[in-house]
Amino acid sequence: MANGHRAASLVEEGLSKSRDRIYCANCTHCKLVRVPAGNGSQYYLRVRCDAGQWRKKLGEEKVYKYFTVARRTLEECGHYEPMGDAKDYLKELKKNLPIKDEIYSY
Q: Tens digit of pLDDT per residue, the chain (106 long)?
A: 455 554 444 444 443 444 578 999 999 999 999 999 988 899 999 999 999 999 999 999 999 999 999 999 999 999 999 999 999 999 999 999 999 999 999 8
The domain limits of the chain are 21-105
Nearest to 74 by CA among 49, 38, 93: 49
pTM: 0.74
Q: What is the pLDDT of residue 17?
A: 43
Using alpha carbons only, give the angle 93, 99, 19 rounded to the nearest 5 degrees.
45
β-bridge mates for residue 104, sequence order: 43
A 10 A CB-CB count for 95 gives 7
Q: How far is CA 76 from CA 6, 20, 44, 84, in A?
A: 25, 9, 28, 17
**What is the Cα–Cα distance from 65 to 33, expressed in whole angstroms?**
10
